[in-house]
A and B are shown apart, each in its own frame.
Chain A
Amino acid sequence: MTKQLLKGNEAFAEAAIRAGVEGFFGYPITPSTEFLEYMSRRMPELGRAFVQAESEVAAINMVYGAACTGKRVMTASSSPGISLMSEGISYIAGTEVPVVIVNVMRGGPGLGNIAPSQGDYFQMTKGGGHGDYFPIVLAPASVQEAIDYITLAFDLAEKYRSIVHIVVDGNIGQMMEPAELPPMRKIPKEAPEWAVTGAKGREPNILTSIYIDPVDEEVVNIRLLKRWLEIEKNEVRYKEYALDDAEIAVIGFGTAGRVASSAVRAAREEGIKVGLFRPISLSPFPKKQIEEISKRVRRILVVEMNSGMMLEDVKRVVQGRVPVEFYGRMGGVTPFPDEILDEIRRVDSNTADVADLEREQWLDRLEARIAGGK
């Protein structure tokens, strides 16, 4: 396989096809719609199931049902659609069936807009649905990375009987980039032993998320938690750039991390000792790695396209060892590399205490920047 020029959402859909997805159920919503449109043509072509559901509520419950058969199934949506899906997501978590969900995040809250955003960080990483469970959340930063992680997502979902969320923003969903698709995976003939396939020559399989006796539910909670601790041990993923001798660490995921990498490169050319840490698994969060970094650098700058959500996870890990500063854009605004370069310069020369006021200080700077028409 060689590299071709691929459009984000369509490439992700084809990657899922190559990974062996046998059922896609979705509802149109910008900026993820091309995913569904691509599937509406490609899935029937291969004799696989595609349904444009009446709502995201129905779509996720179709995914839920189809997942109970042990086949690889998925949906793709965008922020408001994911909100509607949160009921089904919780049931899927409680029933321990593997599902892959792509969220092409947009500006919010509410109807918000269709511009790229990272405002769903909490929704995705801290559950989204009700109850006691942890989802795997992967945040690729390019078309190629998204292709690779969608393929991996199905393996992880099956290995841990878990939900795997792929979160990208509209930038990555809409961009054209040279990338390489994986080869077509053979569809397995056998279903996993837990799946509902018809109780032919065996005891019935029952897939449910109700455990009416609290003692039984706790058994499930313990099983889910143990599996999660296993995931935390094995599935942390991230990218590092120029961190070896860095005195300043920039931390950002997805598009924000990608924009930050340009800024970090430019700052290096100016002689600033700065490096980039880009979490790819937002959940499990790269706690150890960030803790290590916080022992080596003078200061940390978290960059996000939201109001400082991952910031809270970073601060929890850093535990006040070094000042953690923040820069973000919200509402669907993507920061320019220059903005982040300015921030890196400022952070490099800043010796003042942040005293947990990083959001207030950032807001002052942001409002000044907006007032200045930048």
Chain B
Amino acid sequence: MVMEKVVYQRPESLTDTVTHYCPGCTHGVAHRLVAEVLDEMGIREKTIGVAPVGCSVFAYNYFNHDYVEAAHGRAPAMATGIKRVRPQNTVYTYQGDGDLASIGMAEIVHAAIRGENITVIFINNAIYGMTGGQMAPTTLAGMKTTSSPLGRDVELTGYPVKMAEMLSTIDGAGYIVRRSLHNPVNIRKAKKAIRKAFETQERGLGFAMVELLSSCPTNWKITPQEALDFIENSMLPVYPLGDYKVHPELAGLRV
């Protein structure tokens, strides 16, 4: 008799739904990591997610827990409202870089300043995905987008914004790190960081954000494999991976 052992299955925190994400997009990978962490921590039934406006606007169709859908950039404010009246729940936002670093810059910074006990999953793909590939505040210098057709001119449009570095200067922040989703090793590290970001909330240690370097082959106009290479070769030098702020109480935490 052959004994079968399940080594890979859909986490309970994900619904059995085919996503609308493009082939080679790492939004789906990020979803799965969050879902695995919620399962492993056993907090699915008390978790409330806040979806952004962006390609992940329909995240609530893929996650199997309570969800609300915010206005563009306002997810941290919405999460604040939920967490303040229901502190017993786990509350997280899932946001793109246009959402978090452009239109929602004030909301994310002030959520960190207040030390809101929420977890933020920040997808940095250096572009506006949903609206068809316009320049984001995170777009690399010289990178061509539909609204910087000659390549981003940093003299005119500013330099790529480094959210993890910036938010790590804020006292209310408990856990601020940057990870990447471009290969299995980094995906595993990203999952550990997501786990710590939720542990930060469970322990009441303040605002937690994991910035995830993510692919957008569609709007970068390259193949999925080239997109992963682009993260490694072009994004990593501008957005170094690392732990930018870790609350002392998390330092010894093994996940």
Are A and B physically bound partners?
A: yes
Q: Which residues of A contact B (CB under 8 A)?
A: 22-23, 25, 49, 51, 53-55, 57-59, 61-69, 71, 73, 87-88, 91, 95, 196-201, 204-210
- Give the distance in Å from the alpha carbon of A73 to the alpha carbon of B80 in the complex: 13
CB distance from A367 to the nearest CB of B (A): 43
B67 & A196 in contact (Cβ 8 Å cutoff)? yes
- Give the distance in Å from the alpha carbon of A59 to the alpha carbon of B106 in the complex: 12
A25 & B45 in contact (Cβ 8 Å cutoff)? no
A198 & B71 in contact (Cβ 8 Å cutoff)? no
Q: List 16 additional contacts besides A49-B84, A61-B74, A91-B71; criterion CB under 8 Å.
A: A25-B81, A54-B110, A55-B106, A57-B77, A64-B70, A64-B74, A64-B81, A65-B50, A65-B78, A67-B81, A69-B86, A196-B48, A197-B48, A197-B66, A198-B65, A200-B46
The 10 closest A-B pairs by CB, nearest first: A65-B81, A65-B78, A62-B81, A66-B81, A61-B77, A208-B69, A49-B84, A54-B110, A198-B46, A61-B74
Query: Is the CB of B85 closer than 8 A to any CB of chain A?
Result: yes
Query: Is the CB of B64 closer than 8 A to any CB of chain A?
Result: yes
Q: Name the A residues within 8 Å of B60 (CB-CB).
A: 204, 206, 208
A204 & B77 in contact (Cβ 8 Å cutoff)? no
CB distance from A100 to the nearest CB of B (A): 14
Residue in chain A with minimal CB distance to B86: A69
CB distance from A81 to the nearest CB of B (A): 15
B64 & A199 in contact (Cβ 8 Å cutoff)? yes
CB distance from A89 to the nearest CB of B (A): 10
Task: Mark each residue of chain B from 75 to 97: 1 if its CB lies under 8 Å from any CB of chain A, else 0.
Answer: 00111111011100100000000
Q: Which positions 48-67 of chain B face chain A at CB distance < 8 Å?
A: 48, 50-51, 57, 60, 63-67
Query: Is the CB of B27 closer than 8 A to any CB of chain A?
Result: no
> Which of B51, B85, B107 lies in contact with A71, CB distance below 8 A?
B85
Task: Mark each residue of chain B from 169 to 181: 1 if its CB lies under 8 Å from any CB of chain A, else 0.
Answer: 0000000000000
Q: Name the A residues within 8 Å of B51 (CB-CB).
A: 208
Q: Name the B residues within 8 Å of A62 (CB-CB).
A: 77-78, 80-81, 84
Most buried by A among B44, B46, B67: B67
B107 & A207 in contact (Cβ 8 Å cutoff)? no
> Which of A71, A199, A206 lies in contact with B44, CB distance below 8 A?
A199
Known: A58-B77, A61-B71, A61-B77. A204 touches B85 (CB 8 A): no
A68 & B82 in contact (Cβ 8 Å cutoff)? yes
A210 & B81 in contact (Cβ 8 Å cutoff)? no
A73 & B85 in contact (Cβ 8 Å cutoff)? yes
Known: A58-B74, A64-B78, A87-B71. A196 touches B45 (CB 8 A): no
B67 & A204 in contact (Cβ 8 Å cutoff)? yes
Residue in chain B with minimal CB distance to A66: B81
Q: Name the A residues within 8 Å of B71 (CB-CB).
A: 61, 64, 87-88, 91
